[in-house]
């Protein structure tokens, strides 16, 4: 499958440096990418890759079984007016800064709400868990700051405490 570039996407629910956890079970490296519905070039590239994946894997799946969703149908703040793509990988994706230098979690550069360029590809699932078209997360490049989702993963500053 060909790589798909998702430019200037807003990052949501990132687990880029450690695998996600759900109900005590280890998941994958993952995130959700949001891009505006007005970006028809990116939408067309994603849908073309999905259609090619369906054809290559001889899969017939409905819209509810695709990795791309209409953000207007989501209850999350910031999703309206956007397409959302859930993407994951068992292998840690490349995560770089604007100047292409590698980033680590301690850099605190990448967070839920920032803008990134992403590279993904599609794969067809046809197993005991069902038939779907999923997205494989290959890499993330930080583009610019954005309004953090939730608390933005903030921690207390020393000035938040009283002198003793």
Cβ atoms of 118 and 4 within 8 Å: the answer is no
pTM confidence score:
0.88
User: What pLDDT sits at residue 155?
Assistant: 63
- Within the chain, where are the H helices? 40-56
Low-confidence residues in the chain, pLDDT < 70: 1, 151-156
User: What pLDDT sits at residue 1?
Assistant: 61
* pLDDT tens by residue, 17-41: 999 998 889 999 999 999 999 999 9
């Amino acid at each position: 499958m060909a790589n798909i570039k998702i430019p200037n996407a807003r990052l949501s629910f990132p687990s880029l440096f450690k695998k996600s956890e759900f109900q005590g079970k280890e998941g994958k490296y993952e995130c959700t990418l949001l891009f505006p519905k007005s970006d028809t070039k990116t939408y067309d590239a994603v849908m073309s890759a999905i259609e090619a994946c369906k054809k290559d894997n001889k899969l017939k799946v409905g819209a509810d079984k695709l990795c791309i969703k209409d953000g207007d149908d989501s209850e999350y703040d910031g999703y309206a007016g956007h397409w959302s793509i859930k993407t994951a990988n068992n292998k840690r994706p490349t995560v770089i800064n604007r100047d292409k230098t590698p980033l680590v979690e301690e850099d605190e550069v990448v967070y839920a709400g920032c803008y990134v360029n992403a590279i993904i590809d599609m794969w067809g699932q046809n197993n005991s868990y069902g038939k779907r078209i999923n997205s494989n997360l290959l890499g993330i490049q930080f583009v610019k700051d954005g309004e953090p989702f939730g608390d933005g993963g903030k921690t207390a500053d020393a000035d938040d405490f009283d002198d003793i």
